[in-house]
Structure 1
Amino acid sequence: MQSLKNKKMGERQEKILYALSELGALSRSQLQHMFDLGSKRNANRILQQMSEYLHHVRLNENVYYLNKQGRELVGTTKEFRKNGQIEHALMRNDIYIFYHYPKTWKSECKTEWKENGKEYRIISDARFTYHDQLYFLEVDLQQQMAKNKQKIELYASLFRVIQRQQIGEPILLWYTVSQTRKEKLGKWCKEYEISYEVLCKDF
């Protein structure tokens, strides 16, 4: 594996590579915000200098993820596959930024538990702690609403178990794409009596 130190790469560029290895994909504006890259022109210049280690795809703006050389440079074997998941990853990373880069952030986090003799599991888009509150994130981009309701039912079971163990008051955080979906998700969370927040992406 090549050493970042041997590549004479700036500290900020190193941090960008490591962030992409952790988060999968980030848009130019997300990288601008996270790493204080200045103007759009300056951000594009910095990212162009790193093109040897990056793939990019054009959505509303350029979206970046590590290529094979970039993965080798930071020492990860985890490959980001853009097919159908890129917008989902960007929305998930909106939340990472919005909640000020939680140190406890874990993407695609599996949780298993038992209730009334039955075993359950759920894979959250992310799990993290913010101001001592445990958050479970679900990104709702194109999911069938019936499946979202099933997830809320599962989280209701999980949250009961967490509360019985007295390890905090968990919050289900939804990040969705329309006001109609936001209202439905909030209504179902209330029906299942779980603590929740619903944020809506501003396109």
Structure 2
Amino acid sequence: MMLAQLQRQQREEQILLSLDNLTYATREQLQVINSLGGDRNAQRILARMEKDKLLLAARYEKKVYHLSNKGKQIIGSAQGKLNKKEVTHALMRNDLYIKLGMPEKWFKERSVSWGDNKLIPDATFIRNDTYHFVEIDNQQTMVTNKDKIKKYKELSKVIFNQYKHHPILIWYTVSELRRKKLKESCETIGVKYRIYGNM
């Protein structure tokens, strides 16, 4: 196999693997995450992959890519049927992943259980020996968010007893009003937190 062909195959597999992890992504997100260079280069690569039926794309406010069955087979993806209702949520999570400097060990929707309690953060990662839990505030009610923060407070105690640090709860939200309400709840309940906004 010629070198150029091999490099192309490796790059395509890298893009497929990142999409397997992200579920949905825009060209801009794939461009940053996979270091695809300038806009024209990224568009050319993704258009070719779409033509070769490795990717599928749907038009929302922007073109949004996801794995095709052929793409899944190439990388051995176990990704199930996709839910179009999750597009905005997935794109927001990708934006935050990039904003946070693309943490190395980024686990999407991995369940955390203790005692009779259970939480499924939108993402979890460890940085500087500290657990970080990510919540994407897209369409949830503030009552639901407040209940989650209370559960994170309980989880924080468990993690402190076991690992001697308080985890950081990271919110990504869509409006200034929601940011203020989340800040208020986190401070009242007493969890370590950071809030990012798509505002």
User: TM-score if structure 2 supplies the norm length?
Assistant: 0.90
Contact 1:133/1:170 (CA < 8 Å) preserved in 2? yes
Say if 2:63 is the partner of 1:44: no
Consecutive unaligned residues of structure 1, counting only runs of 5 or more, are 1-5
More helix by share: 2
Consecutive unaligned residues of structure 2, counting only runs of 5 or more, are none
Structure 2 residue aligned with 1:78: 79
How many percent of aligned residue pairs carry the same amino acid? 37
Structure 1 residues 129 and 67, CA gap change in structure 2 (3 angstroms): same
Contact 2:157/2:166 (CA < 8 Å) preserved in 1? no
Structure 1 residues 123 and 100, CA gap change in structure 2 (3 angstroms): same
Bigger mean CA offset, 124-133 vs 6-15: 6-15
Cα deviation, residue 99, structure 1? 2.1
- For residues 194 and 43 of structure 1, the distance between their equivalents in structure 2, rounded to whole angstroms, comes to 40
Structure 1 residues 59 and 88, CA gap change in structure 2 (3 angstroms): same
Structure 1 residue aligned with 2:22: 23
Please provide the CA RMSD for this pair.
1.7
- For residues 81 and 90 of structure 2, the distance between their equivalents in structure 1, rounded to whole angstroms, comes to 10
Structure 1 residue aligned with 2:146: 149
- For residues 151 and 186 of structure 1, the distance between their equivalents in structure 2, rounded to whole angstroms, comes to 13
Q: Deviations over 1:133-186 (max 9, x none)?
A: 210000001111110111011111111111122342200000000010001001
Q: Secondary structure at the match of 1:165?
A: helix
Letter in structure 1 aligned against 2:68: N
Give the alignment of 1:64-103 within 5 angstroms: 64-79=65-80, 81-103=82-104
Moved beyond 3 Å, runs of 4+: 6-10
Say if 2:189 is the partner of 1:192: yes
Structure 1 residues 73 and 166, CA gap change in structure 2 (3 angstroms): closer
Structure 1 residues 39 and 82, CA gap change in structure 2 (3 angstroms): farther
Contact 1:171/1:195 (CA < 8 Å) preserved in 2? yes
Structure 1 residue aligned with 2:136: 139
